[in-house]
Amino acid sequence: MRLDIITVLPEMIEGFFNCSILKRAQNKGIVEISIHNLRDYTTDRYRKVDDYPFGGCAGMVMKIEPIDRCISALKAERSYDEVIFTTPDGEQFTQKTANALSLCNNLIILCGHFKGIDYRIREHLITKEISIGDYVLTGGELAAAAIADAVIRVIPGVISDEQSALSDSFQDNLLAPPVYTRPADYKGWKVPDVLLSGHEAKIRDWEFQQSLERTQRLRPDLLVDSINDNILHDGK
Ligand code: ADE
């Protein structure tokens, strides 16, 4: 997968992509990540990427030209599956979206900033608008990093034990079961006996019951989503 991120603050996320699983995914040649400074695409001598909004409301708006120039330059090199814009009024990002995006070959993520971007960009260039939650961040960079991380870690081969990405919380609309490691008894705080029993079927069953119980208690909305998904699937 090739991922191009367009931002006015490249330094905010560069370090993020040079660590841990994301760095390994790049070293293995599974993903190529390129971060573009929007200011490199201005013709303005002050490298300005924002301007006052028409209509006189407060805040600055990201200008159309540098964004169009940057996206056009990228599209001249290859075709993209999606041009994503990170914005609090986008569709809510979920594991399902991450899984679907992990199947793409080429993605662009445009990070929003200031009061917003000239709406014509959203109308003509953006194919998907994503929010990572109902709160407003200073910019879309953290959202882009979160999306990239969630997408890349489910690409086959990125995590060596593939099972470990598949057993994450939210895969199958269930929260993950609790996990433990040595020592089995710490100050009298004991690991559940079943995990030490060596009985594979009983362990899997215990994990599933734990997942179900934690989801019911902490995120009952996920079970409702799951039921609705199944009804939709059965209806097809
Ligand atoms: N930009 C600012 N806030 C955001 C959010 N919650 N999600 C995505 N992009 C954003």
Q: Which residues contact 184 (CB under 8 A, 6 or more apart)?
A: 190, 191, 196
Looking at residue 172, what is its pLDDT? 87
Q: Is the pLDDT of residue 233 over 70?
A: no
Alpha carbons 138 and 149: distance in angstroms, whole number = 19
Alpha carbons 132 and 48: distance in angstroms, whole number = 27
211 alpha carbon – ligand 1 mean position (Å)? 29
The pairing of strands 50-51 and 61-62 is: antiparallel
Question: Where is 211: in which H helix or E strand?
Answer: helix 200-218
- Average pLDDT over all residues of the chain: 94
Smallest CA separation from ligand 1 atom 2, residue: 137
Q: What residues does 83 pair with on adjacent strands?
A: 108
Q: Is the pLDDT of residue 232 over 80?
A: no
Residue 218's pLDDT band (cuts 50, 70, 90) = very high
Q: Is the pLDDT of residue 219 over 90?
A: yes
Q: Is the pLDDT of residue 48 over 90?
A: yes
Residue 213's pLDDT band (cuts 50, 70, 90) = very high
Q: Is 129 in the pocket of ligand 1 (CB under 6 A)?
A: no
Q: Which residues contact 140 (CB under 8 A, 6 or more apart)?
A: 7, 85, 86, 87, 109, 110, 111, 112, 113
| CATH 1.10.1270.20-classified regions of the chain | 167-234
**CATH architecture for the domain at 2-152:** 3-Layer(aba) Sandwich (3.40)
- CA-to-CA separations, 192 to 10, 40, 42, 142, 206, in angstroms, rounded: 46, 57, 60, 37, 10
Alpha carbons 178 and 45: distance in angstroms, whole number = 56
DSSP-derived 3-state class of residue 111 = strand
Residue 234's pLDDT band (cuts 50, 70, 90) = low
Fold held by 167-234? Trp Operon Repressor; Chain A (1.10.1270)
| CATH 3.40.1280.10-classified regions of the chain | 2-152
Q: Is the pLDDT of residue 227 over 90?
A: no
In tens, the pLDDT along 26-45 reads 999 999 999 999 999 999 89
Task: Check residues 161 and 201 and name the one with the higher pLDDT.
Answer: 201
Q: Is 116 in the pocket of ligand 1 (CB under 6 A)?
A: no
Where do the DSSP E strands lie in the chain? Answer: 2-7, 32-37, 50-51, 61-62, 82-92, 106-111, 116-117, 128-131, 185-186, 189-190
Choose which residue among 5, 89, 137, 147 to substitute to test ligand 1 binding: the one with the highest number of ligand atoms within 8 A of its C-beta. 137
In tens, the pLDDT along 129-168 reads 999 999 999 999 999 999 999 999 999 999 987 667 777 8
Closest atom of ligand 1 to CA, residue 132: 7
In tens, the pLDDT along 60-89 reads 999 999 999 999 999 999 999 999 999 999
Taking the model in full, what pTM does it have?
0.93
